[in-house]
Amino acid sequence: MAAFDHPALLYRDADEYLAGTVPFVLAGLAAGEPVMVAVPGENLDLVRAGLGSAANQIRLHDMTVAGGNPGRILPGVLFAFAAANPGKRVRMIGEPVWPGRTDLEYPACVQHEALINAAFGGRDAAILCPYDVAGVDRRAIEDAYRTHPVIAEAGARRPSHAYADPIAVVADFNRPLPDPPAVAATITFNLDSLPAVRRFVAGRASAAGVDPDRVLDLAIAVNELTANTVEHGGGHGTVTAWPEDGHFVCQVTDGGHIRDPLAGRIPPAAGQARGRGLVLVNQVCDLVRVHTRPGGTTVRLHMRR
**DSSP-derived secondary structure letter, 270:** T
pLDDT in the model for residue 217: 97
CB 85 within 8 A of CB 95: no
Q: For the chain, how big is the Rg over CA atoms in Å? A: 20
pLDDT in the model for residue 1: 41
Domains of the chain: 4-172 (3.40.50.300), 185-304 (3.30.565.10)
For every one of its 305 residues, what pLDDT tens digit does the chain have, with 9 covering 90 and above? 458 999 999 999 999 999 999 999 999 999 999 999 999 999 999 999 999 999 999 999 999 999 999 999 999 999 999 999 999 999 999 999 999 999 999 999 999 999 999 999 989 999 999 999 999 999 999 999 999 999 999 999 999 999 999 999 999 999 999 999 999 999 999 999 999 999 999 999 999 999 999 999 999 999 999 999 998 888 999 999 999 989 999 999 999 999 999 999 998 876 665 667 899 999 999 999 999 999 999 999 999 98
pTM: 0.94
pLDDT in the model for residue 70: 98
pLDDT in the model for residue 2: 52
pLDDT in the model for residue 268: 80
Say how far residue 240 (Cα) sits from the centre of its chain.
23
Q: What is the rounded distance in angstroms from the CA atom of residue 6 to the CA atom of residue 113? A: 10
Exposed/middle/buried for residue 262 (C-beta within 10 Å: 0-12, 13-18, 19+): middle
Inter-CA distances, 107 with 32, 102, 172, 222, Å? 35, 9, 9, 22
3-state SS class at 53: helix
CB 109 within 8 A of CB 133: no
